[in-house]
Amino acid sequence: MFGVVFPNRSFPMDISAFSQIDTSHWVLDMNTFVGEAYDQIREMCIFLLNNFTLPPDKALAVYIQSPGSQFLFCGAVTLARPSAVLTLPWPEPSGQMQLMPADSAPVSAKIGVSVEDLASLQSLDVTAEKRIERLALKVGENLFNFMQSFCGVDGSKLVVPMDILDRWFKKFQEKAKRDPEYLKGFVL
């Protein structure tokens, strides 16, 4: 049905590495994979296998769960998007972890995969949306700081030169052309 790879950490793993909860839910116990170092696993590639046909209105959704926390949606794959590299933003473990008897299994982080209606998912790639949001905020902050350095005060109003946006945009473009790493700094 599907496979996963943890870049620089594993060979491709198929669905047999996951525990099947029911016909549409699987869980990978990170304790069996990496022990308590689950938070060092930052990316996961999930892909549909060639012989599996997912209905066009369905998706394989990926969730992560730190010990004691709720599952957090990370992204999904569909027939139209049969593979994806997803960032795993592990939530902080909850302080409400319950003490377990000595003979019980340790509480561990998990990766969950489930078949869901495509229409019910907010986005296929949550990380890309957050990256775009951070980019927009950083560019806006850059513009604000540039404009602020040219501001004058007229009573209770800040006054900027009429050509300030043109000047900022030209400077922004010139920096991006000179230094390809400049724009990457906005995405981090």
What is the DSSP-derived secondary structure letter of residue 79? Answer: S
pLDDT tens, residue by residue, 133-169: 777 778 888 888 888 887 777 777 778 888 888 888 8
The residue written with tokens 């004691």 in the block is 68
Alpha helices in the chain (DSSP H): 30-34, 126-148, 164-178, 180-187
pTM for the predicted model, two decimal places: 0.63
Cα angle, residue 67 at apex, residues 62 and 71 outer, rounded to 5° = 30
pLDDT tens, residue by residue, 77-106: 988 889 999 888 887 776 554 444 444 444
In sign, the C-alpha dihedral spanning 38, 44, 48, 49 is negative
Give the three-class secondary structure for 43. strand
